[in-house]
Each structure stands twice: as C-alpha cells, then as structure tokens.
Amino acid sequence: MSLESEAVAPGDAELPGTLPESLRAELVAFRRDLHMHPELGNQEFRTTAAIKARLEKAGLKPRVLTLGTGLICDIGDWDGGRPMLALRADIDALPIPDMKTECSYRSTVPDRAHACGHDVHTTVVLGAGLVLAEMHRQGRLPRPVRLLFQPAEEVLPGGAADAIECGALEGVGRIIAVHCDPRVDAGRIGLREGAITSACDRLEVALDGPGGHTARPHLTTDLVTAAARVVTDVPALVGRRVDTRAGLAITWGRIESGHAPNVIPQHAELSGTVRCLDLGAWRQAPDLVVAAIDEVANLHGAKSEINYVRGVPPVVNDPDVTELLREAMTARRGALSVEGTEQSLGGEDFSWYLEQVPGAMARLGVRAPGERTVRDLHQGDFDADESAITVGVELFTAAALLDAAE
C-alpha cells in the first residue's frame, strides 16, 4: 500500500499530511505553553480548554469527557460502518518540581512538571488533528479519525479506564499512541510487537502486634524484624511461585516503624510496587502476593492488613497495528528511522484500551542527535527535542491514511 496513487520515496516529494512551517512553529509554541502550565491528573482544566479552543478554531467539534477534563474529537462523520482509528494522547503532568534552570518555558507552577513528555504527546495528537482536518476539508481523508485526549494517566488505575466508560472507544476499531523516549534520537521511533511495557500495581502493607522493650523481644511481636522479613522473603517466595519468564518483581519504596532505639513498636508500614512483564502472571499476582505476605507475617506472629491496588496491565502491541506504524514511519522517514525497542518495566494505562480494541504504542525519539546526556523520564530536568513533534504528527497522519487505505 502507499500514501498516494503513485509511491513516493521519502524526501523525493511532499507527502500528504506534511506540516507547513507555520504549523510547526505554532505547535512548538503550544507545547511550550502546556509545559509552563502543568496540571495533575483530573485537574487538567486549562489544558483541556486550550485543546478545545484550538480544535474549534479549526472548525471541529470536540466533546469534553463527562469527567470534566479530557476530550474526544472526530474528524469526519462516522457512518456506523468500518470502525475508526483513534489517536490517543495523555494530558496530565507529574507532582515534581521542574529543575531546568536555563529554560524560557520551564514550569511556572511549583512542584508540577511535564517530566514525562505528555505535553509532547498532546501536541502531536493536536497537530495531527489539525492536518487531518484540513485534508478532510479538501476531500483527501477517506475515513473519519478520532482524537482522544485522555486525563490522569499518572493516577492509578489510570484515566484510560474512565475515558472508556465515557464512551471514548465507541466507534473505534484500532488505536495508536506514542510515548517519549529519551534513549532514542529525535527523528526515529522504537517499535516492538507484543508487550512493550510492564504491568504495575501498588502494594501497601500494615503489620501490627504487641510491642515492648528491646531487652525482652521474646515477650513481643518483633515488628521490625517481621517487616524486614516481609521485605526480603516475600519477593523470594513469589519468585518461586510464578514462571520466572513472567518477570514478576516486587520492589519496596517505603518502610516505616518505631520511634526509639529501645522500644519494639506495635505498628509497621511498608509500600511498594508489583511489576510484571506477562499478562497472565499479572492476573495471578494479587493472590500470590497476598498469600506470601500473610505467610511471612504469621511466621513472626504479626497481624497483616494488605491493600493491593490494581494498577495497569502490560501494553501489548498488536502485530498488525505495529506494522501500520512501521509502514507509516518508513513512508515518512525511511526504513532506518525505525528501530527495535526493549520491553520497559514502566506502567502505562494505554493498556486498558488494548483490552478492548487492537492497538500499538511507539517510542517517540526525543533525544537531540549527538547528545550524550540522557535526561530520563520522571526527572525534574527532563526535556524533549521539539523536532520530535513534527515526527509524531507526520507519523500519525501517515498512519491514518494507510489505515484508511487498507
């Protein structure tokens, strides 16, 4: 298949959906405005309003989700026939400070930052929408496309589940997304069939028992020792009760107990994450983990209360939709612009959409070519090479055209 009736090699001629320079500049400015005004999950009112206003200016009719933030917008009218392709962006920021000291567009909100690239994702889908809307006006968009701007990706179990309840997938047959990757050069994308992210759940444990003096631990429930054994023994136990290829890992991020060196406390708390590379093992994880914690706590005479918070399953890329992204990027930038990528242990609520419809997520390169320092995600100094916005927009427009041609 090709983007035009006659195949066009990348660089030989302008392909449909190529960005004019004026739109490139506008999108960079839009992204910088979002970057300066980050909003947390389910609080993205300014962000939603900005997206809505720009889409309406383009003659489109966006619909704010009943959640109050986030929106969907169809380009073209779906006739109830073949389902649409959806382009998804997440719009929320992180509760961390922006540490970029020499940046004219650093966050103006204390302890808030777009340190995961959601401002880039949002701008990419907006830009693709504007290009596709113009093509639709010209009669060059064969099938309708849905834009989905989703709130609260960073809030477990993720705003995707709420967006689905609001009808975001009604009429949608396939869905695609990108996620910024600071390990990949701008101008390139990373693709992987199958699982590309990990499942991620949250685990909170409270241990209780009679405390006492450290001189007489045999008369107490030694909660400090019990908590320490939970930290070390539970991951080992679970690791022997599930196929090791599933990559199920428990990592503790907090342990708290006691106030004095000579007092055995009556209460201890632990919290961490459960990550898993395999969808089947993730579904078994709550029962396995809770049973292991209870066993270790009982062995030490401690009473356990466990709050296992379901997060997100792995993002499992559909082979056909992954190939769609590969063909679209190859048409834009050539075969060398696509590279393989490893499975990440990070969680992504895009997975909830893939429980309903086929889809795929690509890693969008945002590292300036030649840059040696990798500014990792969820760090206060994270930034993106803004040429990636153009790459993402043209990837999505090409994918929409190829999808319509299938």
pLDDT tens column, 160-194: 999 999 999 999 999 999 999 999 999 999 999 99
**Beta carbons within 8 Å of 88's beta carbon, 6+ residues apart:** 125, 148, 150, 175, 176, 177, 350, 353
Beta-sheet pairing, 172-185 with 359-367: parallel
**Beta carbons within 8 Å of 90's beta carbon, 6+ residues apart:** 118, 121, 122, 150, 151, 153, 154, 159, 349, 350
Report the alpha-carbon distance of residue 10 to residue 349 in Å, rounded: 33
Helix (H, G, I), strand (E, B) or coil at 31: helix
Which residue has tokens 């609260």? Answer: 152
pLDDT tens, position by position, for the chain (406 residues)?
A: 444 433 334 443 356 677 889 999 999 999 999 999 999 999 999 999 999 999 999 999 999 999 999 999 999 999 888 999 999 999 999 999 999 988 999 999 999 999 999 999 999 999 999 999 999 999 999 999 999 999 999 998 999 999 999 999 999 999 999 999 999 999 999 999 999 999 999 999 999 999 999 999 999 999 999 999 999 999 999 999 999 999 999 999 999 999 999 999 999 999 999 999 999 999 999 999 999 999 999 999 999 999 999 999 999 999 999 999 999 999 999 999 999 999 998 999 999 999 999 999 999 999 998 887 778 899 999 999 999 999 999 999 999 999 998 7
DSSP 327-359: HHHHHHH-GGGEEE-PPPSS--TTHHHHTTS-E
Q: Tell me the pTM.
A: 0.90
Which contiguous run of DSSP H or E holds residue 66?
A: none
| Residue 280 tokens, joined | 């089947």
Burial status of residue 372 (CB atoms within 10 A of its CB: 0-12, 13-18, 19 or more) = exposed
